[in-house]
Amino acid sequence: MPEKLVEQITARDVDFAKWYTDIVKKADLIDYSSVRGCMILKPYGYALWENIQRELDLRFKAAGHENVYMPLFIPESLLQKEKEHVEGFAPEVAWVTHGGEEKLTERLCVRPTSETLFCELYANIIHSYRDLPKLYNQWCSVVRWEKTTRPFLRSLEFLWQEGHTAHVDEAEARGETLKMLDVYADFCREFLAIPVVKGRKTDKEKFAGARETYTIEAIMHDGKALQAGTTHYFGDGFARAFGIQFSDKDNKLQYVHQTSWGMSTRIIGAVIMVHSDDNGLSLPPKLAPVQVVIVPIAPHKSRVLEKAREVLEDVSAVARVKLDDSDKQSGWKFSEHEMRGVPVRLEIGPKDIEQGQATLVRRDTREKTAVPLKELSMKIPKLLKEIQAGMYERAKKRLEDGTHTAQNFDEFKDIIEREGGFIKAMWCGAQECEEIIKAETGATSRCMPHGQEAVGDECVCCGRPAKTLVYWGKAY
């Protein structure tokens, strides 16, 4: 590795938390506001969300979903209709009590999630099996009154999408729950170059009001897990609480079966903690707002800027490219664009021009290649693909290397202490064991993974007969 060009961020191995906040601030993704726990998404941070939103929205629409917009406020009485749901959310909602000068007769909460509003709508508009399925999604912000907050990972307000669907029966709703989990996992793998483990949450960890919650779990550079997206199967619980009924083909009244699923700006935190390094952010090309930055070397010299502009025009046709023709030093520009995670730097100076070439530098490996100018628009898309694939492969290897197996509680504690990461271990199904594991190690059950074999017969905690394999880990 060549010498470090950026000195102003804390090294990842020295203080992971500080490294993380250094990156979000210095790559200019966010700023803080005077409201506790609310962050400002600055242009570069918001551009990441726009790209995520565009790509996910295409995938949702291809799967038959339609976007809607529901109100920001939920009347207290509406929130209370489903018992488990309100118990889960009431402690962490913001309450509006006054409109203008007037005190409201009923408090309104600022939506922490919109199940109740969608249920109210569905009760009004679903009458017949012909009205089903309803496959709605919305893009919005939600508010949860968190005590401690961290940029992207946990904030009082965050941006997300929430899908809410209603189906004729359990099979179809369960199918949707699993299908959308795949949509999330595929999106993480293909677009963000983040490998995930898919699985079901234990009862203790599931969403308030859900019969089952599925999750995708990723592993960060510090060995901690991060829940990157969830999908919920509700059965007909909400339908009964809200009276969402339809006439089936035999003209009998039935309750709908429902799902919901969400992914938020939190995923940007995962991108940072999976891919970045001591030089700053590193973005997978598909996500990067700027894929190639052109840095002219000795730009005052004859024809350098002119050539750089020609290259800009050529490359614009095949990549999101930017020319940095500011009056800063080249070294400063190298650092700055590395810090911002631009996947490819294209250097062009007098010597390059003499030889009819430019130099391409990968952000991820810092590998340099000289490429004839005429081949740039052919080579760059190829290079971007290689970077995307390489970033995924390295992340996948870390996920694999960071996944351990524990046969007993001593092994479990030892791994958590020495290595972190995921621990595959058997579980008896008792919530008590989850609580003991959490109390003694800080690890929680992340998920019961899809289609994986048992790694033993006994619960890693109590030694009683095991029911299922669980991925455990300390988590964000």
Which 3 state secondary structure label does DSSP give 37?
A: coil
Residue 327 CB partners (closer than 8 Å, separation 6+): none
C-alpha to C-alpha distance for 398 and 5, rounded to whole angstroms: 25
Residue 68 CB, nearest approach to a copy of itself (Å): 5
Residue 272 CB, nearest approach to a copy of itself (Å): 17
Which residue's CB is nearer to a copy of itself, number 17 or number 40?
Answer: 40
Positive or negative, the Cα torsion across 441, 445, 450, 455? positive
Residue 120 CB, nearest approach to a copy of itself (Å): 6
| Residue 259 backbone phi and psi in degrees, to 5 | -140, 160
Which residue's CB is nearer to a copy of itself, number 77 or number 302?
Answer: 77
List C-alpha distances in Å: 450 to 200, 206, 214, 295, 468: 8, 16, 10, 47, 11
Which residue's CB is nearer to a copy of itself, number 17 or number 125?
Answer: 125
Which residue's CB is nearer to a copy of itself, number 75 or number 350?
Answer: 75
Which residue's CB is nearer to a copy of itself, number 218 or number 339?
Answer: 339
Nearest 5 degrees, angle CA 443-CA 147-CA 154?
A: 65
Residue 340 CB, nearest approach to a copy of itself (Å): 14
Residue 462 CB, nearest approach to a copy of itself (Å): 35
Residue 125 CB, nearest approach to a copy of itself (Å): 7
Quote the distance between the C-alpha of residue 2 and its chain's center: 31
Residue 403 CB, nearest approach to a copy of itself (Å): 35
Which residue's CB is nearer to a copy of itself, number 49 or number 234?
Answer: 49
Residue 342 CB, nearest approach to a copy of itself (Å): 17
Closest alpha carbon to 237 in 112, 88, 449: 88
Token digits for 22? 């250094």
Nearest 5 degrees, angle CA 40-CA 264-CA 438?
A: 110
Peptide bond between residue 133 and the one before it cis (omega within 30 degrees of 0): yes
Q: Containing H/E element for 137?
A: strand 134-143
Positive or negative, the Cα torsion across 434, 439, 441, 445? positive
Which residue's CB is nearer to a copy of itself, number 264 or number 357?
Answer: 264
Residues near a copy of itself, by CB under 8 A = 31, 33-35, 38-43, 46-47, 49-50, 66-75, 78, 90-102, 108, 110, 117, 120-121, 124-125, 136, 140-141, 143, 145, 157, 159
Quote the distance between the C-alpha of residue 386 and its chain's center: 22
CB 272 within 8 A of CB 23: yes
Which residue's CB is nearer to a copy of itself, number 256 or number 437?
Answer: 256
Helical spans, DSSP H, in 232-291 = 237-242, 266-275
Residue 129 CB, nearest approach to a copy of itself (Å): 14
Strands 197-200 and 468-473 come out as unpaired
Which residue's CB is nearer to a copy of itself, number 30 or number 270?
Answer: 30
